[in-house]
């Protein structure tokens, strides 16, 4: 943070003639585009920026507001101001989360929380169209990370014959299925907005109560068999979803 403040001070002094808040916003934008600041990095407190640049808090606040409107930063009360992350994700594409983001040049990884077998809860057995309510099911729970930052929490239930060895899954479920000749042909989505609980907020590194996008997904193969039933909680400050009719 001290290195950035020093860099900011040097560059701000060289800024072209313009209102000071625009000079500051332009300089911070340059820092983001030149990767002086990385996605997810926190900016120094506005008070510290104002003191080091010898400008008013109002000037800094106006600059931050301008950057926020351009989608370059995200400001959260009680957490701070950080470089924003944007994920464009199409619900129409057959490619999964990992494949789509890798195509965009992002660094995608998982933090596994659970890979196990269990008796299917009643609502899961119903969603997977299992005849026996006491059937076993594979449960996966993982944090999705982009460039090391948590962006969504995914909980997925799969009939065991479609994933007999869940402990071997490391990266893309869809890539693994493709290698085994399993292809999702039809997907149904239900999207709702929910407030983040304290537990989820802690996992996603956001403020408790922050709006999240909840996606409930059911996927089927060409035979109409249910492959998966999942719930994904997505950070609303990160995701941009695309749906083509």
Structural domains of the chain, with CATH: 2-83 (1.10.10.10), 87-242 (3.40.1410.10)
Cβ partners under 8 Å of residue 205, min gap 6: 149, 150
What integer pLDDT is reported at residue 99 of this predicted model? 55
Spell out the alpha helix ranges (H) of the chain: 2-13, 20-33, 46-53, 57-69, 97-103, 122-127, 173-179, 198-204
Positions in the chain whose pLDDT score sits under 50: 102
State how far the Cα of 97 lies from the Cα of 89, in Å rounded to an integer: 7
The confidence score (pLDDT) of residue 217 equals 94
pLDDT digits (tens, 9 = 90+) for 201-242: 999 988 889 899 999 999 999 999 999 999 999 888 776 666
Tokens (6 digits) for 59: 């000037």
Query: What's the distance, CA 51 to chain centroid?
Result: 33
Report helix, strand or coil for 30.
helix
DSSP β-ladder status, 211-220 and 186-195: antiparallel
Closest of 144, 194, 198 to residue 172, by C-alpha: 144
Give the number of other Cβ atoms within 10 Å of residue 72's Cβ.
19
Note the pLDDT of residue 127: 95
| Contact between 144 and 103 (Cβ < 8 Å) | no
pTM above 0.85, yes or no: no
Half-sphere exposure of 163 (CA within 13 A, CB side): 28
pLDDT at residue 66, as a whole number = 92
- pLDDT at res. 93: 57
pLDDT at 58: 95
Spatial neighbors of 157 by CB under 8 A, at least 6 apart, are 120, 124, 127, 128, 137, 138, 139, 140, 228, 229, 230
Query: What was the pLDDT predicted at 120?
Result: 94
pLDDT of residue 128: 96
């Amino acid at each position: 943070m001290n290195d950035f403040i020093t860099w900011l001070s040097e560059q701000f002094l060289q800024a072209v003639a313009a209102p000071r808040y625009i000079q500051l916003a332009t300089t911070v934008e340059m820092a983001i585009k030149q990767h002086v600041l990385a996605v997810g990095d926190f900016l120094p407190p506005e008070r510290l920026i104002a003191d080091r640049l010898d400008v008013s808090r109002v000037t800094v606040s106006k600059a931050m507001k301008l950057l926020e409107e351009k989608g370059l930063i995200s400001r959260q009360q009680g957490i701070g101001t950080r470089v924003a992350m944007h994920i464009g994700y199409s619900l129409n594409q057959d490619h999964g989360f990992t494949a789509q983001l890798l195509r965009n040049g992002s660094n995608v990884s998982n933090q596994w929380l659970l890979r196990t077998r269990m008796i299917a809860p009643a609502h899961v057995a119903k969603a997977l169209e299992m005849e026996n309510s006491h059937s076993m099911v594979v449960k996966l729970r993982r944090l999705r990370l982009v460039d090391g930052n948590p962006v969504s929490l995914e909980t997925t239930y799969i009939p065991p014959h479609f994933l007999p060895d869940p402990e071997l899954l490391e990266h893309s479920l869809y890539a693994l299925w493709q290698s085994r000749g399993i292809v999702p042909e039809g997907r149904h989505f239900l999207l709702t907005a929910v407030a983040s609980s304290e537990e989820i907020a802690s996992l996603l590194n956001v403020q408790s109560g922050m709006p999240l996008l909840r996606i409930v997904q059911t996927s089927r193969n060409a035979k109409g068999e249910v492959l998966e039933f999942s719930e994904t909680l997505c950070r609303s400050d990160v995701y941009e979803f695309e749906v083509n009719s």
